[in-house]
Amino acid sequence: MRKRDARRTVAATEAAKGFGALVDRVRETRQVFQVESRGQVVAEIGPPRLAFTMADMRALISRGRRAPAELIDAVEAARTEARASQASVAVPLSGRGGRNRR
């Protein structure tokens, strides 16, 4: 079962007047506060979400299993063949659909 985020609602004027204290509460409790103005939630103030960086991706890949050499060779051969067959097909780059103009 997933634990739901506890979100507290704070009036916009209260958030503006006590912004420093609100940031401190977010840091200490890791709680998300919804800022409400005229009865509508207009913002959320909370801890940053965890990011998955390219360095994380590289580390994940380096830990993982590698594909067999035969599979890598077969994929590379198929890519080379596909590129060779596409080289003979004209691709219009003008955005006009490749029509011949007279």
Q: Is residue 27 in some structural domain?
A: yes
Q: Is residue 96 in some structural domain?
A: no
Binned at pLDDT 50, 70 and 90, residue 53 comes out as: confident
Q: Which domain holds residue 19?
A: 7-45
Element (H, E) at 41: strand 40-45
Q: Which residues pair with 35 in a beta bridge?
A: 10, 43
Number of H helices and E strands in the chain, helices first, is 4, 3
Coil vs helix vs strand at 52: coil
Number of domains in the chain: 2
pLDDT in tens, 68-100: 888 889 999 999 988 887 766 665 665 655 555
Q: Is residue 75 in some structural domain?
A: yes
Q: What does pTM read for this prediction?
A: 0.45
Q: For residue 17, give the CATH number of its domain.
A: 3.40.1620
Residue with tokens 């979100």: 7
C-beta pairs of 72-79 under 8 Å, 24+ apart in sequence: none
Question: Cα dihedral sign for 20, 23, 27, 30?
Answer: positive
Same-domain check for residues 17 and 41? yes
Same-domain check for residues 11 and 40? yes
